[in-house]
Amino acid sequence: SDTLATSTFLDLSEVEKVQDILSALTAEQKVGQLFLVGFDGTDSAIDAPVHKLISDYRIGGVMLIAENDNFDDSEDVVLSTAKLTKSLQRIAWQKFNQESIEARGLSSSSNANSDYLPLLIGTRNDLEKGGYIGVQGGLTPIPGAMAIGATWNTDMALSMGEITGAELSALGINLYVGPGLDVADAPIGNSAGGSGLSTFGGNPYWVGEMIRAFVVGVHRGSSGGIAFVGESFPGLGAADSRNRMDIPVVNKSLEELIEFDLVPYNAVTELPLGSDETIDVLMPAQARYSAWQGSVSIDTRPLGLDSGALSELFSIQTFSEWREQGGLVMTSELGREGVRRFYDPTSSTFPAFEIARDAFLAGSDILFLNDFVLDISEDQYDTVVSTLELFVRKYRDD
């Protein structure tokens, strides 16, 4: 697998460079790289929480979300968003440059940023709310996944993906949680859960073809500058609920999942990582699956927090090979209500470190923190900092 990963994703010199960078990182820097954090508003000034998280705690990235008011569309959302992403990257660059100078005893004029680690700056698909990031001003109107799927035209999906990739890349975004890979398992409107209008359709083969074309488009439109995140692995098309306050249950056999729900995921993981057709990141569903977890109950962990179940899922050959080549696993929002209620049905406590630790130990490479605080009306900064510090302490101890 090392040879395969090297030949299809990184050449030997790049692997060595990555190893050199990792060996030079402190425990705090390594821990920070695990976290992708949501934040409120567009303020990135020196006293803003997001500035401190990037500069002081070296988080690996941020997520821009319309609900968090990260897109200022009062005038020109394109200019304001590009300005914000440049500002966030500048914070990371300045901190890394400063640390390199201090560590190597270089003069301020020396080139100390040769191994600079840029931020992941992500956003998520929001086609059903108008515009593919939840806002429209200055961006090309893109139809929703179901509308694109209804054309049965992969060239249309490719074109929409190219527009999305080009425009997101121009905004400074390099990580995209795109349209879901779910297959609608019931007629729209006839299911309590399911995927609704957010899926490309109800035929597994055609959903796979359409999402693969869309992924190709995003990669080509961004000139390879955007990592595509696929949710909600291994599919929520037959979920009994889509309510954010619940943990959905998918009661299907492994055979049914392989023949139906997993078909689109196979379509975007069967070729070597680094191919335009291949997805970069998978986001496990925070749902319960009888296929891997047996008879589910309220005590059954959501899949993304269940190391045993997630390990079994990734033992399927296509996905194990994709993983071995360097495919990444990213959590959904760890502050979402369903996760909270699993840890405390009364919602009177929020064990932040335990949640993040469990997600990491389950096999996640990127921990997405949003609304990561007991009272979501309050800023999550202190909770995030506490979690980071506990991770560092645990890393040093074990």
Per-residue model confidence (pLDDT) at position 128: 55
pLDDT tops 60 at residue 188: no
For residues 147 and 191, which has the higher predicted lDDT (pLDDT)?
147
Average pLDDT score over the chain: 88
Q: Are 234 and 290 in contact (CB under 8 A)?
A: no
Residue 228 has pLDDT above 90, yes or no: yes
State which H helix or E strand residue 209 sits in: helix 204-221
Buried b vs exposed e over 182-192: b needs ≥16 C-beta within 10 Å? bbbbeeeeebe
pLDDT for position 20: 86
pLDDT of residue 13: 80
Q: Which residues of 149-181 are buried (b: 16+ CB within 10 A; e: fewer)?
A: beeeebebbbbbbbbbbbbbbbbbbbbbbbbbb
pLDDT at 185: 82
- In 3D space, the residue among 273, 323, 282 whose CA is nearest the CA of residue 304 turns out to be 282
Question: Using N-to-C axis directions, what is the helix angle for 381-397 and 352-361, rounded to 10°?
Answer: 50
For residue range 143-172, list pLDDT tens digits in order: 889 999 999 999 999 999 999 999 999 999
Quick check: 19 pLDDT over 70? Answer: yes
Per residue in 296-305, pLDDT tens?
A: 999 999 999 9
Average pLDDT (199-226) is: 96
Give CA separation, 110 vs 20, 99, 100, in Å. 19, 12, 10
pLDDT in tens, 312-326: 999 999 999 999 999
pLDDT digits (tens, 9 = 90+) for 60-86: 999 999 899 999 877 788 999 999 999
